[in-house]
Amino acid sequence: MVNLDTKYKDAIWIAKSLFERGKVSGSSANMSFLHAGNIYITGSGTSFGALAVKDFAVVNMKGEHISGIQPSKELPLHKIYYEKSTSIQAVIHTHSFYSTLWSCLNHKSTTDMIPSYTPYLKMKLGTVGLIPYAKPGSQLLFNIFAERVNDSDGYLLQNHGPLVGDKDLMSAFYCLEELEESARIAWELRNENIDVID
């Protein structure tokens, strides 16, 4: 079992990497991981650019606050993701640019909405579903996500941003990176209005 210090170290490195490369800004992101039966989640109003151990809240699997600062208002999204499968041990949510752009379009499929122009998104994450818009942090958003969580492997919250989970923080980070890159490729090909080889 990976110790808590290592998980914190990975979380802080991921946050810094995303912030320094412009994948997140301000306090517009949150992440969590499981440890010893509890959820460790970034606190409300924290910034990935200056994330530290003190910026995590600890809650139990019922969502009850155990220690640390106030958890992110989007904690229920993380909790629902963890309840989907015991294989999910870390969750990351951002407002990254191309994923958010792609979430604003109309799509034929709401369960597999990013074209497979390269094989890597399917290899790392799987299908990406669209969660219809509801106000961030709202009970309506949580209800919609709970209804659709089993339909896809990763998600784009409409007009909001990506939400991914995996077996550990670094794996979730790699999935998030591949999702954003796949959304960028899809967006660029859409704007070029060119034929793509099938």
Among all residues, which ones are annotated catalytic?
A: 74, 120
- Using DSSP's 3-state secondary structure scheme, residue 157 falls into strand
- State the amino acid at position 22 in one-letter form: G
Distances (CA, A) of 115 to 22, 122, 130, 197, 198: 24, 10, 13, 12, 11
Distances (CA, A) of 84 to 87, 150, 152: 9, 7, 11
Q: Is 1 strand, coil or helix?
A: coil
